[in-house]
Amino acid sequence: MNLALFDLDNTLLAGDSDFEWAQFLIGQGALDGEIHAAQNEKFYEQYKAGTLDIYEFLDFQLKPLARHSRAQLDAWHQEFMARNIRPIMTDQARAKVQEHLQRGDLVLLVTATNAFVTGPIAREFGIHHLIATIPEQRDGQFTGGVRGTPSFQDGKITRVEDWLEAQGLNWGSFADSWFYSDSRNDLPLLEKVSCPVAVDPDPILKAEAERRGWPVISLR
């Protein structure tokens, strides 16, 4: 059995679901447009630069979940999927996921974006296992906090290894392991797998992939 791990934003998606969700909420009037658009852009640029403080960002990202009922959030998410997400799910990305599923590989989506935003996206791709940052809930409502280790940078390795251990598995359980990512932030997990693949990579990851002889592909 082989293991196939996929990053989501700017890898399987031709865009960033975190960024798009904030922009969607601004469009719904759920967030102050001027203030949150500027903050959203700031954090996105920090992420691309590899300088993001994940806890500062999560405080910004998760607090809006606590201001609305779960029913309202779920209704918004359905519209978000139709307007913002399906248009950036490319045929090439869907085909790459299906390639691994049809081989019988164990396929996981591994993303820093929170599980509320990304759970339906994983299912849309046909991926049944999700490792994402977990927004804290109490009595079925989001608190605005985060539970456990964020799935970001080295945290992705921690979360994947914890998940594998819970299944009675480890890295040695697989003949080969793939990780597909676009971002320098994912270098720790790319270095961990036997088959790292740079997908439409940022300049830092592209240079590193070329230096190490890793495949560089496009799913756009």
| Token duo for residue 35 | 């203030």
Q: 108 forms bridges with which residues in the sheet?
A: 5, 129
7 in catalytic set? yes
Q: Is 52 helix (H, G, I), strand (E, B) or coil?
A: coil
139 in catalytic set? no
What does the alpha-carbon distance between residue 93 and residue 86 come to, in Å, rounded to a whole number?
A: 12
H or E segment to which residue 130 belongs: strand 129-138
**Amino acid occupying residue 29:** G
CA dihedral (18, 9, 49, 178) positive or negative: positive
Strands 141-147, 129-138: pairing kind: antiparallel
Q: Are 9 and 17 in contact (CB under 8 A)?
A: yes
What does the alpha-carbon distance between residue 196 and residue 5 come to, in Å, rounded to a whole number?
A: 10
What does the alpha-carbon distance between residue 83 and residue 106 come to, in Å, rounded to a whole number?
A: 30
Return the active site residues: 7, 9
